[in-house]
Structures are given as C-alpha cells and as structure tokens.
C-alpha cells in the first residue's frame, strides 16, 4: 500500500512562538507531542478500554490461555492461546504501552484470528521500564528469553518450533525489532540462528535518538550504549528474517517517519520487507486490524505465516 496524499493531522497548536530546533524542524514542544500518541488520538482511552473488553470477549469464546513462566521473576510469565491443530506455527505478540504499561491479558483480542486460522498465539508479560531502573536493556532481554522459551517449549503445547513468528505494536514493535537486530541466538542462547521465521512491526520506533530528545527521557534513562544497541536502524546487518512494517495515516508525524525510514533502510539493505500504510487509522486503531482476517494486519500476518482463514 502507498501513503495517501490526504492531509495529515497537524500538531496541536502552539501556545507561544516556536522555540529552538531540537529534531528535524521541530522545537521541544513539537517533538514531545510527536512522541505522545494522545496528542493525535483523542479517542485513546475509548480504544484502550475496547481492547480490554474485546480481550475478555475473545477469552469467553475460545477459552482461557495456558499460563507459563519463562523466567525467574514474577512478571516473566506468558499466555498461550492454543489452536486445535497439531504441529501448528506460533506467533509471539509483544504489546505496546510506551514501555511503561500494559498487561498480556489486555492484548488478547487478536487471539481468535490466530487460533481459528491454525496457529498458537503467545503473549508475554514483561517488566515496565520504570521497574528496571529506566533501562530498555532488561526489557529487551526478557522478550528475548520469552522467545527462546517458546522455541524450546513449543512442542509441549502443540507448536512447531520451526515455524516461529514475532509481532509487535508501538513500543512492542520496537522491542521486536530490537530483539531481531541485537540477538545472536546461537552464541547467546545455544539455539539455531534462524529460530524466527518472520515478523510484524506496527507503529514502532526504530531510531532511539529522537526519542531520547523527547519527553520520554523523563522516564527512560537513555544512554549512548542503549541508543546504539537498541536502535534497529543502526543494526540492520543482524536482521535475517522477512519483516512487515506498518503505520496508520493518523499517527503522529514522527511515528510515520520512523516507519517509513525503517522500511526504506531495510529495503536498501536488501532485506525482505513489506511496507503497509493504514489509511484513516490512528495508533490505537491500526492494531485492531490484527484481529480481523480481512484487516490490514490480520491479512498480512496470515499470508506471512502461510495460513488462511477457512475456519472463519
């Protein structure tokens, strides 16, 4: 899909004259707004509440997930929504929440799509950044270990470890991309180097430098090491799987630019890339299409996993 020429949302009107330039052509207030989805999605609270309600409705229809621990701390647990097909592929979904909020149980709304199409869906819980001294490194490590746990244990719940996929939204998309571009599965975890077969990154951040300059630095303690190691744009030589990158046309200008630039860089590096633009979707609306087999993201991940939606 290509981006429409329709007018993009404007940043909130400035109450005073524009200040010194901080990033690209933005002053501090504009940059802060560009990394604050609430400034561009007035229905944010409605949509987050709907995600919770839809997750509860999905569990009522397909049943509660199995819950497993993937690490020693209390938060290191994951939910497995199981399909009835034996030897089915597995998708691991990493939720968003600006790195500081969100629970696996509230992001179960896509599970019905995967289960009916013949795939297991795994949704891990992981630490909030404020609970790990403001560092994204432990969060990335937890996601990495959750993925490794799924690969090792997939046969125990009917999954095929040779067909493991990742998906992430918002800060979860960043964590997915960071894991894919900072992990040596063989050397660090004693696993095959190709355990992940494909990924979806929707509405994420792939260069942490402008994020570091924004108000998000109030709760994330960015360091030079973190920005370098966990900026997927800077480590594309480590990307070895086909990837889908997407954004909505009603997201903030910076989230749209991050997705465009990342997709362009992946393509320039000669890596398999599919770039999708959701016309008329804001940041919290586009991820709902992951739960619809005819939706922008639902259709794309089913194709990536070589599944259909005959069960619908």
In this predicted model, what pLDDT tens digit does every residue of 11-34 receive, in sequence order?
Answer: 444 446 889 999 999 999 999 999
In degrees, rounded to 5, the angle at the alpha carbon of residue 309 between the alpha carbons of residues 305 and 312 is 150
Q: Please list, in sequence order, all residues whose beta carbon lies within 8 angstroms of the beta carbon of residue 277, skipping any fewer than 6 positions away.
A: 1, 2, 3, 4, 246, 247, 248, 249
* Terminal CA-CA length for the chain: 25
- Helices within 63-182 (DSSP H only): 111-117, 136-153, 171-182
pLDDT in tens, 198-243: 999 999 999 999 999 999 999 999 999 999 999 999 999 999 999 9
pLDDT at 201: 99
- Angle, helices 171-182 vs 136-153, to 10°: value is 70
Instruction: Read off the pLDDT band of 310 (50, 70, 90).
Output: low
E strands, 254-305, are 273-278
pLDDT in tens, 75-107: 999 999 999 998 999 999 999 999 999 999 999
Structure tokens at 283: 């940041």
- Helices within 190-223 (DSSP H only): 208-213
Instruction: Read off the pLDDT band of 2 (50, 70, 90).
Output: very low
pLDDT at 16: 60
Q: What is the mean pLDDT of residues 129-137?
A: 98
Which CATH fold would you assign to the domain 22-304?
A: Rossmann fold (3.40.50)
Q: What is the mean pLDDT of residues 37-47?
A: 95
Residue 263 has pLDDT above 80, yes or no: yes
- C-alpha distances in Å from residue 224, one per residue of 221, 227, 228: 10, 5, 6
pLDDT at 226: 98
- Taking all residues of the chain, what is their mean pLDDT, rounded to a whole number? 94
Residue 5 has pLDDT above 60, yes or no: no
Structure tokens at 62: 């397909």
Q: Please list, in sequence order, all residues whose beta carbon lies within 8 angstroms of the beta carbon of residue 36, skipping any fewer than 6 positions away.
A: 215, 252
Q: What is the C-alpha to C-alpha distance for residues 252 and 84, in angstroms, rounded to an integer?
A: 40
Structure tokens at 183: 């992990």
Would you list the domain boundaries of the chain?
22-304
With H, G, I as helix, E, B as strand and everything else as coil, classify residue 250.
coil
Q: Do 143 and 175 touch, CB atoms closer than 8 A?
A: yes
Structure tokens at 226: 């973190």
Q: Where is pLDDT greater, at 175 or 11?
A: 175
In degrees, rounded to 5, the angle at the alpha carbon of residue 133 between the alpha carbons of residues 128 and 138 is 60
Q: Where is pLDDT greater, at 253 or 6?
A: 253
Residue 262 has pLDDT above 60, yes or no: yes
pLDDT at 46: 98
In degrees, rounded to 5, the angle at the alpha carbon of residue 26 between the alpha carbons of residues 20 and 31 is 110
What percent of the chain is modeled with pLDDT above 70? 94
């Amino acid at each position: 899909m290509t981006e429409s020429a329709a007018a993009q949302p404007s940043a909130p009107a400035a109450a005073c004259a524009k200040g010194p330039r901080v990033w690209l052509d933005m002053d501090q207030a504009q940059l802060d707004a560009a990394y604050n989805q609430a400034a561009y999605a007035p229905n944010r609270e409605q949509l987050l509440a709907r995600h919770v309600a839809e997750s509860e409705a999905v569990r009522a229809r397909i049943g509660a997930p199995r819950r497993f621990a993937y690490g020693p701390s209390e938060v290191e647990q994951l939910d497995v929504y199981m399909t009835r097909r034996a030897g089915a592929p597995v998708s691991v979904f990493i939720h968003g929440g600006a790195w500081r909020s969100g629970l696996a149980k509230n992001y179960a709304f896509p599970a019905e799509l995967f289960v009916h199409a013949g795939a297991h869906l795994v949704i891990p819980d992981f630490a909030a950044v404020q609970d790990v001294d403001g560092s994204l490194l432990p969060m990335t490590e937890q996601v990495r270990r959750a993925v490794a746990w799924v690969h090792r244990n997939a046969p125990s719940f009917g999954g095929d470890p040779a067909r493991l996929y990742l998906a992430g939204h918002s800060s979860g998309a960043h964590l997915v991309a960071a894991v894919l571009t900072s992990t040596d599965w063989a050397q660090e975890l004693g696993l095959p180097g190709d355990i992940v077969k494909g990924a979806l990154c929707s509405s994420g951040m792939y260069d942490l430098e402008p994020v570091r300059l924004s108000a998000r630095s109030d709760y994330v303690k960015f360091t030079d090491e973190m920005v370098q190691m966990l900026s997927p744009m800077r480590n594309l030589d480590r990307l070895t799987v086909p990837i889908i990158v997407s954004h909505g046309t009603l997201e903030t200008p910076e989230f749209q630019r991050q997705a465009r630039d990342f997709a362009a860089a992946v393509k320039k590096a000669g890596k398999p890339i599919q770039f999708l633009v959701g016309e008329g979707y804001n940041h919290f609306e586009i991820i709902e299409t992951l739960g619809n087999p005819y939706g922008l993201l639902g259709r794309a991940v089913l194709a990536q996993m070589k599944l259909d939606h005959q069960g619908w």
